[in-house]
Amino acid sequence: MLDLEKRIPSKEEFKQLAYKKGEVVSPLRRVTLFFLDLFIYFIITIFTKGRYPLLAFLIYFTILPIFLDYKTLGSAFLNIRFKKLKNTFTSYLRPYLLYFYYLGVPYGIFADVAFIGNYITSSTIKITFYLFIIVFVLLFYIINLVLLFIHKRRFYDSLCYTELESTIKEKM
């Protein structure tokens, strides 16, 4: 029993390990942040009955972070903030690039496909065409998820001179 007690880390060692892991903004935290912010944004647009979605986006992703130390409500919950590497206007464009890339591009592809699909008369070709596009969009997301785990930093962060930073503080 005594030998086993020596191998088990102490409470302090567990705290240190948890703090070290919390200092890193992992890909899982980034994906969670993306969906949490998207969920909060959709809740806001539901409460405004879908009026002015672009204004809600501007307020939630641009104006609110200025007053909350570069945090959205989702990033405050996950102890993450946006850090500007250069003080440029482009750092405020990050959420627009991020959401356009992950939502706008696939939506545009589906909209174009639906338009083209109206001109296909054969149901077999139409179904095959739609399935191909669905597989293509799924591959788009899978490749981006793999790249997120490999590179940690995405192109929109580089373009906007931003990075995500953990706000977890060590309590001793």
pLDDT, average across residues 110-118: 84
Give the chain's mean pLDDT: 85
The 10s digit of each residue's pLDDT in 142-163 is: 998 888 888 877 888 888 888 8
Q: Which two tokens stand for residue 41?
A: 């944004």
The residue extents of the domains of the chain are 15-166
Could you tell me the CA-to-CA distances from 62 to 57, 77, 91, 103, 120 in Å, in that order?
8, 17, 10, 18, 42
**Angle of helix 123-151 versus helix 27-47 axis, rounded to 10:** 120
**Angle of helix 123-151 versus helix 105-117 axis, rounded to 10:** 170
The answer to whether 104 touches 95, Cβ cutoff 8 Å, is no
The 10s digit of each residue's pLDDT in 59-96 is: 999 899 989 988 999 999 999 998 888 888 888 888 88
